[in-house]
Amino acid sequence: MNLFYNQVITILTTPPGILVYHLLLILSLAGALQGLYSLNRSGGSPIILRSIACIGFLILLQIILFMLNLLGWLNFIELNRFLPPLVRGLMVLSLIWIGILWIFPDPSKKPLVLGLISSLLVTFFLVTSIISWYFNSNGGYFNKSFLDILWQILSLVIISSALILLFLRKPNGFKFGVGTFTLAGISHLLYLATPLSYGDYPGLIHLGQLAFFPIMLAIPQTLSPMGENEEPREGKEPIPLKQQEFSNDSKTFSSLLNHVNNIERDQIGIGIVRGVSKAMLADLCLLIILKDQDLLFECGYDLIRISSLKGRLLIKIRFLSSQIP
């Protein structure tokens, strides 16, 4: 058993096995990207475009590691002086943006700002780690070194924070997100719990990534208007997105009912148009009323931009009727 374990870890941490490992991660991400691209062609939205950018960034990180390992295998560059801390840093960056994808499947800009700030801090620590290891490695192994332990602690903090936010928010794809970060946490904990291992790369964490990166293929499903848990009924074909005219999401009915509890008149109107827009899948829904012989645009809702529209006076009925012979 110990021999088999050592063989698996060796394959995942040395060429050419590590090249295959990176290719498998890239293929998993590419599948998710293809699904998001198809979803965007059917009816794009800001959250889909943001998800495409996040997946593209994750693919770029894996391509960088693949190319560096390939050049090192061909003896063009010496990897041991800088690649071990770079691997840990890019792992943490990947965890941050995977968390953004699973925890915040909404068009809010706050998650994007949070991800950028976190990435900048991690990048600063990454540059510091590379410089420190480059001048102080002394031919030693990076595994279980002081810098490696710091990176593992940072990874576990991010994983724990992601799990807490997932349980608090329970977004679409909640189960997929929990599965992703549970597998990631187990792999990091097992890596820390194993005896001191020689080498520069965390084979157990690589094995964990091979387990949870394919879960990213479910991201397009969580962003689809059909919902994450809805399945087509037996004997009936699913309704294509372009032919779907009504929404059967329970949140739609909640939106229609919630406006009853609002006492402010303008909020009641906004609740009505929001609910009708989601129920009819209408890109734009307007509420027009007649008040004191004036035709008023009370309010509206833009489903594409997910924003409310303010009202204004459209036309005076008295003036219109005076122009009719």
Query: 221-255: per-residue pLDDT in tens?
Result: 888 654 444 444 444 444 444 444 455 555 555 55
Q: Report the sign of the C-alpha dihedral through residues 186, 187, 190, 191, in that order.
A: negative
Q: Is the domain of 66 the same as that of 189?
A: yes
Question: Is 199 a member of any domain?
Answer: yes
Residue 97: pLDDT band (50, 70, 90) is very high
pLDDT of the residue at 229 = 42
Question: Is 239 a member of any domain?
Answer: no
Q: At what angle do helices 46-73 and 17-43 cross, to 10 degrees?
A: 160
pLDDT of the residue at 225 = 56
Among 223, 240, 264, where does a domain finish? 223
Q: Is the domain of 44 the same as that of 188?
A: yes
pLDDT of the residue at 243 = 43
Asked whether residue 116 carries a pLDDT value surpassing 90, the answer given is: yes
Residue 265: pLDDT band (50, 70, 90) is low
Question: Is 238 a member of any domain?
Answer: no
Whole-number Å distance between alpha carbons of 205 and 159: 13
Q: Is the domain of 41 the same as that of 183?
A: yes
pLDDT of the residue at 30 = 95
Range of the domain at 144: 7-223
Q: Is the domain of 200 the same as that of 291?
A: no
Question: Is 88 a member of any domain?
Answer: yes
Residue 263: pLDDT band (50, 70, 90) is very low
Q: Which residues contact 290 (CB under 8 A, 6 or more apart)?
A: 296, 317
Asked whether residue 26 carries a pLDDT value surpassing 50, the answer given is: yes
Higher-pLDDT residue of 10 and 273 is 10
Among 223, 238, 267, where does a domain finish? 223
Whole-number Å distance between alpha carbons of 271 and 275: 6
The lowest-confidence range among 55-59, 94-98, 236-240, 287-291 is: 236-240
Q: Is the domain of 68 the same as that of 31?
A: yes
Higher-pLDDT residue of 80 and 43 is 80
pTM of the model: 0.69
Question: Is 1 a member of any domain?
Answer: no
Whole-number Å distance between alpha carbons of 174 and 325: 63
Q: Is the domain of 201 the same as that of 127?
A: yes
Query: 131-144: per-residue pLDDT in tens?
Result: 999 988 787 889 99
Q: Is the domain of 288 the same as that of 176?
A: no
Number of structural domains (the chain) is 2
Do residues 91 and 51 lie in contact, with contact meaning Cβ atoms separated by under 8 Å? Answer: no
Mean pLDDT (the chain) is 82
Distances (CA, A) of 244 to 106, 153, 236: 21, 47, 14
Q: Is the domain of 127 the same as that of 260?
A: no
Residue type, 261: N
Over residues 112-140, the mean pLDDT reads: 92
Q: Is the domain of 204 the same as that of 269?
A: no
Question: Is 309 a member of any domain?
Answer: yes
pLDDT of the residue at 137 = 79
Over residues 64-75, the mean pLDDT reads: 94
Q: Is the domain of 67 the same as that of 208?
A: yes
Question: Is 230 a member of any domain?
Answer: no
Whole-number Å distance between alpha carbons of 222 and 104: 11
Over residues 161-173, the mean pLDDT reads: 93
Q: Is the domain of 212 the same as that of 312?
A: no
Among 223, 239, 258, where does a domain finish? 223
pLDDT of the residue at 277 = 76
Q: Is the domain of 193 the same as that of 50?
A: yes
pLDDT of the residue at 45 = 78
Over residues 159-178, the mean pLDDT reads: 94
Asked whether residue 299 carries a pLDDT value surpassing 90, the answer given is: no
Distances (CA, A) of 147 to 84, 89, 120, 290: 10, 11, 18, 70
Question: Is 229 a member of any domain?
Answer: no
CATH classification at residue 80? 1.20.1070.10
Torsion of CA 154, 155, 156, 160, to 10 degrees: 100
Whole-number Å distance between alpha carbons of 41 and 152: 39
Give the strand pairing for 294-302 and 307-316: antiparallel
Q: Which residues contact 205 (CB under 8 A, 6 or more apart)?
A: 91, 187, 188, 191
